[in-house]
Amino acid sequence: MKSVLIVDDSPLVRRFLREVLTESEWIVCEEAANGREGIVKAQELRPDVIILDLAMPEMNGLQTARVLKRIMPTTPLLMFTSHLVPNLEKEAVSAGIRRVVSKSDGAPAVMSAIRSLLAA
């Protein structure tokens, strides 16, 4: 079974993602409330996919992705954000994020993105 690490400062979003993913073919190996914590847990647990929020305290999703890409270059990164601004996708890709999904697109978009990342 493939594992997913959720890195988001919102307990509500983490709970939503955990519930959605628990009903799928994946397990949530852990959650982190900020980028620094996410990096530590990612190194510890070596998940198959990491979901990152953009706006977080301590380290935002782009900063976190840059570090994760350097230390875990083959682990797919997915950004799940409510801050879809112009050029975000381009900036995200240059930081090492493979997919950007809007929180307003909800569970189906996240599930589809994870499936495509794991199939690649």
Q: What average pLDDT score do residues 48-73 get?
A: 96
Domain tally, the chain? 1
Torsion 48-20-53-94 (CA) sign: positive
Please state, in angstroms and rounded to a whole number, the distance separating the CA atoms of residues 100 and 67.
18
**Is there a domain that residue 113 lies in?**
no
Lowest mean pLDDT among 10-14, 85-89, 97-101: 85-89
pLDDT tens figures, 105-116 = 989 999 999 999
Q: For the domain that residue 32 is a member of, what is the CATH number?
A: 3.40.50.2300
**Is there a domain that residue 120 lies in?**
no
Structure confidence at residue 51 (pLDDT): 98
Alpha carbon of 98 to those of 8, 10, 12, 94, 95: distances in Å? 17, 22, 24, 9, 9
Q: Print the domain residue range for 57.
A: 2-85
pTM, two decimals, is: 0.95
- With a cut of 90, say whether residue 120 has pLDDT above it: no
Please state, in angstroms and rounded to a whole number, the distance separating the CA atoms of residues 61 and 81.
9
If pLDDT is split at 50, 70 and 90, which confidence band does 53 have?
Answer: very high
